[in-house]
């Protein structure tokens, strides 16, 4: 059995890791840390876990974590970058669900996160954990930076078009919408049910922290720089991200449906829907899956790609487990076969 | 008192007309028709109306309706265009909330609605009831075609940019989202709570019937033809439309915030929010108001406009009452001063 | 015009007072206080109020408030009881929406609220502001304690049965459910959308603070002591309280439907639904109305009463305005004629 | 592998059977019938199943179904009772999720369902499939009648009290609330999102069809007749049932927490929560689990039991799979280890 440690287990990506790993045949969670809840059983905080875990939260302890085969960081940014160097030195593999190692350029990271990076020397070593792009590097990595939720949906949607050079990389638009769990389990008035239920709004229009991460990934795919207008919106639901992507075709694009189907033919967790079927967040709820659809409305020169994921699964904890499976040479789908909870 | 008749009063725009007119100082609903519910009291079907109306639904009767000062059609398309000629001949004013008279080109209408138009001779006479564009013509009209819900939000958002020639009219994008009440009160599996709650999806990507209506209005504003990529989405809420609009700036656009504030300075029902505040559907819930915000993310060349309305109010019944007020020379805000229901 | 002051205007009952008073023909809000938001315009915090108020929040100032004709306290408990004595002394009328003056017995109040009462000498003077019970006393009151939201629904539902002696007062049961806005606008993890959406639970089963208030009112109606088992539940919606009440009939109860209809025949804000129609929170959303239904399932000896209100209107701010109207000799319905927002 | 057939697979209990059986190690769905969708792939109707099934719906065919080891009926009432005799004769085991075989008294069944029973001769043979009560009989059964969703929650909550004779069986009250998926996937206006979202109401107060089923089970537990006042309510969510149960204690009840913990100590799918923790529908969402809590508010003589299940899992399809496992001698938990989807 693989010994798993989780740093920062009280948030939503933490409990989601526990939910997924409870059914993982080869992984055993042996440590889960939380300063605030130290000593409390995880199933007391999250009664859905009763009967699945005997574990309690503990204070973070590098020694204990270093003894794990894999350590997940399910923390806000600015935690992993301080603890990871020591863990790597001790030989542990690390999968960071936070933003700390996603952007390769430390100055760019600092510009968006408003502070210096604490371990910039690791940015080159960290592998961006989007398996559909970097599977081979992930397999050999000691440190994986799990992509953000919006970036996962936007990249999986745009990459075939950009890699094939079919669209203008300087005029990309992503109109995305996320469930409120993406904002985490923080006590903020803004995320009260009474503030966000029964409503819809854009936010972060002037600049969301996922923008540089997305543009980095899209530029890699395009082989040139890109410009993305990214507008996230807040959905009055708990889970789910839906991205509607717009790009200008450079000419006759050929059969885009066939392109997407072929591009992702061997990907177990990317599902190109048949023509005429559009993704819904409910069809991937609780599942480690990205569903995609492509259209060229009225046969004009704008292509529309729609992508749906569960932000806590393929957008966070499920993708993290997928990365773990790859890093450890396990079946990539182990623990990740759950079916979307529909209805 | 103005005598008001409503054709097709069992749907959501019908009950919304009743809700608004209950507080209108000068209007009295004297007839409301429904074949299916004939004989039933309106407050039996809609108990929120108890104490406000003694009225019962009746079979549609041209004679009776013709005796009204104003007749609203709160019907699906294909009803008004058959009854309106007779009503106009009898001297009644008509405000049609359906799509029958919104598109001036009968052939275009037929292409999108899949049938011949029953009274194309009235298309020239019908005034498109967007008061912010056509106030003077509405005042003198006998037949007003109330704009669709999506078209109201998209036009109010785009018009200043297009009228000023600031953006490329050939590359317009609208990513809109609507509450489920926009789909009406029809018994369809697709609109069951268990099918659409807790989810989000795009629909009608290949071509939504509101597209030609929007493009007609935007072309009028631009003074040239336009091309819009319009992707509607379904929100798991009852009321509310939010449109996120994208356009390519043709050059230095100047102070767009000031432009919008000036453009709508005298409009009682269009509210340009201060910089930094973004519209939410909850702030206009139940109110006859469109709230707008403008941004140019990262100072690049794509402008983003956000527009929020209540699809049943400014997107339908409220706008219909606004048109009635204008047609009858009443205070335009009469009956429409309700405050958005927040929280 | 009546000069109105509001203490604690940033919470949900505060903004709801503003929403209702915006349409009140005789009231003008001249002061609204908030320590946290002092200096901020109310329509900046609550953009639904744009165009309706020019007001900004100010620091609480007894002088200023004392100059008002009526002062509303839209505060948590423990604020009013410290400020009210001075305001009364200055001649102002006070309507307290908090719990401070609802319970006549200071010791009982202290037992449930965990602190001494700061102005117990006013408990005798304070009138419990349930107009359907105390209209005459309210008219002459200087200090009115507005009932809690649950207590309003439970008392209006039970009173006719208890006043007529038809049920056993020692075996009363109330299974109530409230929208999340009842918990206020506090930054608490427990009220995040991600914690309470898409779920349902009981809470406070061992003892909710509204229990002694309800039992006090029911005992007044019964003319003897009562015992109530009160179980509140949390609904994944913003507004609305629904109480399902159970009592044991003492014998043949006669025509309960007729009893309820007669009991409330002259009440403008209590609506006894016809047999076969059951209340829904949506039919009273935004309206100052309690809808009631009565049933005796299977003709057995348990009577069931269902009551629905909007917790922020008839359960708080609407009832407060109703009390103001009565206190000032205005039309009791002034500003309160809004129709429930359905759908 | 066990060959499984499903009759009526297009409804919510049908797709839920497919979701659960996709991860069942020993079961293979070989036939799924639907007259309306015959020929359509199941993953076309339910895209969450893509990658998990290659199956298409077929016309019901007794021959084909009889070749299965187990046939589930996921149909409305009045289907199974016509087809089951032939299937049993052919040697198949049948698990009926509908109401057809739940009530042992054919006359009582007819009184509530408004038609004669088509195969009353099987009522004695049918085993009521509540494993916590009838595990041994289920193991030997050829025909199992799966309990209704409300009945599962109410019986599991009340049984220990009644079996121990601790409460008055003539004064039982159940105030239950269900998500809308309980109403099935029928095109009805009443279940549109716009009709039931953002609201709460009681329904069926005069008599719900689950009442005789519940009273039958409770009388079995009590060893005497019982009288239950049962009021169901509709929750604006998709999944989940919460029942709040009230009963009069006959005297000192002793340690009820200990009683419940012992009663269900060996039950894998009934979870008695520790004192102070109350069940929520979200903690059992998607899981085959009933969570219970017990309280005696204010130490008076009314006991309150709260029970939460997912109506589609422990209230339907999960319990059906549990019954299958028992009937076939498999591990009772096989395919049912999924963790509740929280948040």
DSSP state letters, A41-104: BHHHH-GGGTTT---B-B---HHHHHTSSEEEE-S-TTSHHHHHHHHHHTT-EEEE-SSTTT-S
Look at strands B27-33 and C70-73 and give their pairing. Answer: unpaired
Which are the contacts of D22, defined by CB distance < 8 A and separation ≥ 6? Answer: A337, A339, D49, D52, D53
Query: pLDDT confidence of C165, banded at 50, 70, 90?
Result: very high
Nearest to D189 among B180, B185, B236 (CB): B185
Per CB-CB distance under 8 Å, the chain C contacts of D340 are none
CB burial of residue D93 (10 Å; 0-12, 13-18, 19+): buried
Per CB-CB distance under 8 Å, the chain A contacts of D283 are 46-48
Test the B interface: residue of C11, C41, C50, C280 with most B CBs within 10 Å: C50
Query: pLDDT confidence of A14, banded at 50, 70, 90?
Result: very high
Give the sheet arrangement for strand A93-96, strand by strand: A27-33, A2-7, A70-73, A93-96, A143-145, A127-128
Gap between the Cα atoms of A182 and D302, Å rounded: 42
CA A58 to chain CA mean position, Å: 26
* Tokens (6 digits) for A257: 């449906």
Catalytic site positions of B:
149
Which are the contacts of B163, defined by CB distance < 8 A and separation ≥ 6? Answer: B221, B222
* Tokens (6 digits) for B266: 């005298």
Determine the Cα angle at C292 with ends C289 and C297, to 5°: 165
CA distance B300 to chain A (A): 9
CB burial of residue B188 (10 Å; 0-12, 13-18, 19+): middle
Gap between the Cα atoms of C57 and D343, Å rounded: 36
Cβ–Cβ under 8 Å, residues B288 and B317: no
Q: Do C283 and B198 touch (CB under 8 A)?
A: no
Tell me what the mean pLDDT of segment C139-158 comes to: 98
- With an 8 Å Cβ cutoff, is D265 touching chain B? no
Query: pLDDT confidence of D9, banded at 50, 70, 90?
Result: confident
Per CB-CB distance under 8 Å, the chain D contacts of C280 are 199-201
Compute CA distances A76 → A12, A20, A96, A100, whole Å. 11, 20, 10, 9
Test the A interface: residue of B112, B154, B189, B198 with most A CBs within 10 Å: B198
Q: Touching D: which chains, 3+ CB pairs < 8 A?
A: A, B, C
Cβ–Cβ under 8 Å, residues B286 and B240: no
Cβ–Cβ under 8 Å, residues A79 and A98: yes
Q: What is the DSSP secondary structure assignment for residue C137, as one 8-state letter?
A: H
Closest CA to C151 of C87, C106, C216, C204: C216
ipTM: 0.97
Tell me what the mean pLDDT of segment A164-190 comes to: 97
Determine the Cα angle at C107 with ends C102 and C113, to 5°: 65
Q: 3-state SS string over B155-175?
A: HHHHHHHHHCCCECCCCEEEE
pLDDT at D283: 97
Q: Do C194 and A12 touch (CB under 8 A)?
A: yes
Contacts by C325-328 with C-beta closer than 8 Å and gap 24+? C326/C131, C326/C135, C326/C138, C326/C139, C327/C70, C327/C93, C327/C95, C327/C138, C327/C139, C327/C141, C327/C144, C328/C2, C328/C26, C328/C69, C328/C70, C328/C93
Q: Any catalytic annotation for residue C149?
A: yes
Report pLDDT digits (tens) over C78-92. 999 999 999 999 999
Per CB-CB distance under 8 Å, the chain A contacts of C193 are 180, 191-193, 195-197, 236, 238
Tell me what the mean pLDDT of segment D287-293 comes to: 98
Closest CA to C196 of B112, B238, D342: D342
CA distance B316 to chain D (A): 16
Closest CA to D29 of D19, D37, D39, D38: D19
CA neighbours closer than 13 Å in the CB half-sphere of residue B50: 21
Closest CA to B141 of B197, B70, B201, B210: B70
Cβ–Cβ under 8 Å, residues C80 and C17: no
pLDDT at B9: 87
State the first-to-last Cα distance of chain C, in angstroms, to the nearest integer. Answer: 34
Low-confidence spans in chain B with pLDDT less than 70 = none
Chain C window 183-212: which residues touch D at a Cβ cutoff of 8 Å? 194-195, 198-203, 205-207, 211
Gap between the Cα atoms of A290 and C173, Å rounded: 49
Q: Which residue shows structure tokens 């006894």?
A: C272
Chain B window 242-261: which residues touch A at a Cβ cutoff of 8 Å? 242, 244, 246, 248
Tell me what the mean pLDDT of segment C181-204 comes to: 97
Phi-psi region of B341 (alpha: psi -120 to 50; beta: other; left: phi over 0): beta
CA neighbours closer than 13 Å in the CB half-sphere of residue A162: 30
Cβ–Cβ under 8 Å, residues B77 and B100: yes
Tell me what the mean pLDDT of segment D295-304 comes to: 97
Nearest to B206 among A201, A280, A295 (CB): A295
Cβ–Cβ under 8 Å, residues C101 and C143: yes
Tell me what the mean pLDDT of segment D152-181 comes to: 98
> Is pLDDT above 90 for A9?
no
Closest CA to A303 of A177, A162, A178, A207: A162
Map out the domains of chain A with their CATH numbers: 2-125 (3.40.50.720), 149-311 (3.30.360.10)
Q: How many CB atoms lie within 10 A of CB D140?
A: 9
Nearest to C49 among B12, B312, B339 (CB): B339
pLDDT at B153: 98
Q: Do B297 and A206 touch (CB under 8 A)?
A: yes
Gap between the Cα atoms of B281 and D203, Å rounded: 31
Nearest to D185 among B189, B237, B238 (CB): B189
Cβ–Cβ under 8 Å, residues D103 and D216: yes
For every residue of C146-180, DSSP letters joined together read PPPHHHHHHHHHHHHHHHTT-B-TTSEEEEEEE-G
Q: CA torsion angle for C284, C285, C288, C292 (degrees, to 10)?
A: 20
Report pLDDT digits (tens) over D48-80. 999 999 999 999 999 999 999 999 999 999 999
For every residue of A239-286, DSSP letters joined together read S-EEEEEEEEB-S----HHHHHHHHTTT-TTEEEPPTT---BGGGGTT
SS3 content of chain A, % helix, strand, coil (to 5): 35, 20, 45
Burial A46-65 (b: 16+ CB within 10 A, else e): bbbbbbbbebbbbebeeeeb
Instruction: Enter the pTM of the model.
Output: 0.98
CB burial of residue B225 (10 Å; 0-12, 13-18, 19+): exposed
Q: Which residue of B has its CA nearest to D194?
A: B238
Compute CA distances C306 → B44, C14, C271, D27, whole Å. 18, 28, 12, 46
> Is pLDDT above 90 for A153?
yes
Gap between the Cα atoms of C43 and C57, Å rounded: 10
Nearest to A191 among C183, C193, C237 (CB): C193
Report pLDDT digits (tens) over A25-41. 999 999 999 999 999 99
Report pLDDT digits (tens) over A194-240. 999 999 999 999 999 999 999 999 999 999 999 999 999 999 999 99
Q: Do C297 and D202 touch (CB under 8 A)?
A: no
Phi-psi region of D198 (alpha: psi -120 to 50; beta: other; left: phi over 0): left
Which are the contacts of C61, defined by CB distance < 8 A and separation ≥ 6? Answer: C31, C33
Cβ–Cβ under 8 Å, residues A122 and A99: no
């Amino acid at each position: 059995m693989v010994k798993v440690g989780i740093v920062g287990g009280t948030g939503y990506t933490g409990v989601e890791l526990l939910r997924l790993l409870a059914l993982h045949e080869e992984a055993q969670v042996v440590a889960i840390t939380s300063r605030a809840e130290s000593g409390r059983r995880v199933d007391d905080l999250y009664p859905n876990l009763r009967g699945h875990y005997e574990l309690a939260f503990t204070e973070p302890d590098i020694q204990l974590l270093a003894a794990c085969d894999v350590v997940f960081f399910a923390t806000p940014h600015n935690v992993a970058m301080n603890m990871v160097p020591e863990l790597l030195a001790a030989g542990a593999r690390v999968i960071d669900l936070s933003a700390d190692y996603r952007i390769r350029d430390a100055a760019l990271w600092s510009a968006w996160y408003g502070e210096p990076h604490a371990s910039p020397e690791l940015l080159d070593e960290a592998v961006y954990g989007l398996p559909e792009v970097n599977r081979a590097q992930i397999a050999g990595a000691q440190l994986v930076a799990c992509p953000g939720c919006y970036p996962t949906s936007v990249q999986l949607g745009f990459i075939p078009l950009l890699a094939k050079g079919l669209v203008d990389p300087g005029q990309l638009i992503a109109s995305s919408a996320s469930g409120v769990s993406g904002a985490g389990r923080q006590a903020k008035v803004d995320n009260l049910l009474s503030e966000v239920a029964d409503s819809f709004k854009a936010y972060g229009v002037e600049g969301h922290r996922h923008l540089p991460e997305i543009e980095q990934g899209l530029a890699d795919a395009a082989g040139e720089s890109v410009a993305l207008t990214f507008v996230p919106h807040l959905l009055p639901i708990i889970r789910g991200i839906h991205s509607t992507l717009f790009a200008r075709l450079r000419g006759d694009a050929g059969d885009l449906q066939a392109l997407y189907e072929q591009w992702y033919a061997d990907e177990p967790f990317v599902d190109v829907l048949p023509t005429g079927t559009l993704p819904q967040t409910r069809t991937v709820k609780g599942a480690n899956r990205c569903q995609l659809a492509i259209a060229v409305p009225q046969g004009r020169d704008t292509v529309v790609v729609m992508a749906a994921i569960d932000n806590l699964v393929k957008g966070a904890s499920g993708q993290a487990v997928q990365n773990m499976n790859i890093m450890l040479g396990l079946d990539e789908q182990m623990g990740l076969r759950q079916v979307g909870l529909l209805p």
